[in-house]
Chains A and B, each alone.
Chain A
């Protein structure tokens, strides 16, 4: 019987809500702007692990391309914030374009004069891209490891583009908007508690929204498709339809993370589209438990916490640690840390009474 407290939906909701409520007090407790900003970054990385948990853990789609949505959205937000510092009269185009011999603002950049349009585009473009990309893959019945290969190839293509289209993207240097995000007259200081709370609020909404989605019939069928696509098709469901939908939603969540990331770090470069970054997201989710939304988020906190504790001089050594951790998790804890909790609770239930339900 798999019916311990871990599987009780009410208990899950209580844990989720309590967790996010407690997280709101973190900046007040630590009371240090640098650490608050660091924790806000972790929240955004947690959101990426969340998107991986949805698409891979629940959807069974091993996407190594979550960085595409993140990167595109990050560029969109970077462009929006850059244009906030430009003036149509005195300085109509960003300085990096001048050094690249552009005399006129490219058409691609024009919509980003208007901040709301810019933010909407930053979210919409990656989401629509995931919809089209997903439709291409899943209608052709690309599955299993081939999804990983195709998404990886697509990610590399976007990375090269961001890198090579120097006049439009500032290439390797990336875009660093000179001032923080302005919403109307209000300035969002990346080092403020407010920025942290915006990130936390968005992560809470995304997590609870996805949790609700997974409890719907849609969530059930997505998991059924993961278990046996052929059987789901014989029940009358369009397998590709569900895969495209879950892939698109995961793209939207990753895009939201991209927008928040640039709000918090005030910088975007091709590193956001690097292969190692997207692979790392998968590892965070695996460590925390890809079959648990909260588990995946905690996995991101955990791995990135260790990484920043060890510091920058360990940067390359850390990749080794990360790889080793991944192998150990896959070998000994396929459901990650959340799976560990699940079996501990199972043992607790079993000991006092063998057949006690929830």
Chain B
């Protein structure tokens, strides 16, 4: 089976320093893949390279067999990539409803959108996503009045509204309480099969809750891949994480 997202020998170098170094990754349709690794392993940079926020120094990224690594950001998004940022990025001055509506990208053209008004389909989609991410009662609230956890859910909601082919989540549970993290895990488990997700995370209990397969990066390189049990037993992974105080440290 052809992978939906494929990274081939992806490299990012700043002068001599290689932040990502010949990294390979295949994510299949309907899969929830976790990308794990200690701080500075190059996880966020890898996401940046996939979305086009940073330019590759070498290698290529393909989506469904098409090489996209020389496309501009918004073209990649149109091709089906959706990203959730590490620091929650929502439209603070707009309401929760408006944020979700903006993310409902049925049409992208400015001229076309001058003639698009709120309709039943948009409302239904927004209501559906809002209840999925626990924000059903907060639709009228301005985004800058939400709690941190709610802001993260709003952004996850925005990514879901986009109906993208693959969702890239960069530390979706950062700054969340244990309860919020657990709730987020339930949301993700509900998406398996119907959505393809690549999640960067280092909260191990969260990873245990959601992961099918885990890929571990270290110093910009591929280190290991397998089920969560395989990874936790893997000696190399233990060694890398022991230097950081153990893989279970963040749990």
Contact = CB atoms under 8 A, between A and B. Distances in A.
Interface in A205-247: 213, 215-218, 220-221, 223-224, 226-228, 230-238, 241-242, 244-245
A223 B94 contact: yes
B93 A227 contact: yes
Given A1-B141, A231-B91, A220 B115 contact: no
Nearest to A60: B93
Contact of A235 (B94, B103, B111, B114): B103
Interface residues of B, number: 37
Nearest to A249: B114
For B74, B85, B94, B145, the residue with the greatest tally of chain A CB atoms inside 10 Å of its CB is B74
B85 to A, nearest CB: 8
A111 interface: no
B125 to A, nearest CB: 13
Interface string A333-358: 00000000000000000000000010
Contacts of A237: 74, 105, 108
Interface string B68-101: 0000011001100011010001111111001101
B116 A217 contact: yes
Contacts of B145: 2
B249 interface: no
B77 A230 contact: no
B51 interface: yes
Contacts of B158: 235
Contacts of A218: 110, 113-114, 116
Contact of A238 (B110, B115, B117, B141): B110
B140 A3 contact: yes
Contacts of B102: 220-221, 224, 232, 235
Nearest to B51: A234
Contacts of B91: 223-224, 227-228, 231-232
A237 B114 CA distance: 14
Contacts of A226: 93
A334 to B, nearest CB: 12
Contacts of A228: 89-92
Contacts of B82: 234
Contact of B105 (A216, A235, A244, A357): A235
A332 B39 CA distance: 44
A341 B105 CA distance: 34
A112 to B, nearest CB: 30
B72 to A, nearest CB: 9
Contacts of B195: none
Given A1-B140, A232-B102, A237-B108, A217 B113 contact: yes
B82 to A, nearest CB: 8
Interface residues of A, number: 29
Contact of B93 (A221, A223, A241): A223
Contacts of A244: 110
Nearest to B155: A231
Contact of A216 (B73, B93, B103, B115): B115
Nearest to B78: A236
Nearest to A238: B74
Contacts of A230: 89
A141 to B, nearest CB: 12
A231 B83 CA distance: 9
Interface string B136-169: 0000111001000000000000100010000000
Contact of A227 (B83, B92, B109): B92
A134 to B, nearest CB: 12
A236 B107 contact: no
Nearest to A246: B110
Given A235-B162, A238-B108, A238-B110, A220 B98 contact: yes
A105 B14 CA distance: 63
A220 B108 contact: no
Interface string A1-15: 111000000000000
A33 B9 CA distance: 79
Interface in A165-197: none
B77 A236 contact: yes
B105 A245 contact: no
A3 B91 CA distance: 18
A236 to B, nearest CB: 4
A236 B114 contact: no
Contacts of A236: 74, 77-78, 105, 108, 162
11 contacts: A216-B117, A220-B94, A221-B110, A223-B91, A224-B94, A231-B90, A231-B91, A233-B77, A234-B73, A234-B77, A236-B77
> Would you list the 10 A-B pairs with minimal beta carbon distance, nearest first?
A236-B77, A227-B91, A217-B116, A217-B113, A218-B113, A245-B110, A218-B114, A224-B102, A231-B89, A3-B140
Given A227-B94, A238-B110, 5 more contacts: A213-B114, A218-B116, A224-B91, A235-B158, A236-B74
